[in-house]
Amino acid sequence: MTQESRIRDHAKFVASVHSFAWLGDKDRRGATDLDFFREYRGRFLVMEGKTWHAGLQVPMGQHLALAQLAKLSMFTVYLVGETDGRVYHVLQLGWVAPLYVGKQGAYYPGSIFTEKTPEEMRCLVKAWELAV
C-alpha cells in the first residue's frame, strides 16, 4: 500500500474498469475494490488502506462488503490507516464494531487500532501464512 497514488491520466482512469463509471450511477452502489488481496492454501487475506485521520472513515458499500468478508472463515480482513509510510494503524475486522455507521459509511476510532511499522506489517502477513 502506498501513502498516496496519483492518477496520471484522469480520462483514461474514468474509461477504465477501476472507476466503476461503466456501471452507471444506479448500479455503481456498493461496488468496491480491494487494496491488498492474497490467497494462500485456499484462504484469503484482505487489507483495505485509508488515509489516517485519528481513525478511519470507510464508505458504506465498502464497509458492508468488508464486514461480510470478515464473517467468512476463509477470509481475514484488516483495515489499515496510512500516514507517512513509516507507521500503519491496523485493525482486524470482525473483532470490533465501528463507533458509528451512517449514510456516509462507518467510522472506526483510532483508539481501537494497533500501530505497526512496515517490518511489523510484513511479519503480520507472514504470521497469517503460518497460521493457515
Enumerate the domain spans of the chain. Answer: 29-131
What distance lies between CA 128 and its chain's CA centroid? 17
Per-residue pLDDT band for 3 (boundaries 50, 70, 90) equals very low
Reported in sequence order, the residue ranges of the chain that DSSP labels E, i.e. its strands, are 36-40, 43-51, 55-58, 75-82, 88-92, 100-102, 105-109, 114-116
Q: What is the pLDDT of residue 13?
A: 63
Q: Are 44 and 38 in contact (CB under 8 A)?
A: yes
Nearest to 109 by CA among 124, 89, 84: 89
Q: Are 36 and 124 in contact (CB under 8 A)?
A: no
CATH architecture under which domain 29-131 falls: 3-Layer(aba) Sandwich (3.40)
pLDDT tens profile 62-101: 999 999 999 999 999 999 999 987 899 999 999 888 999 9
More confident residue, 25 or 4: 25
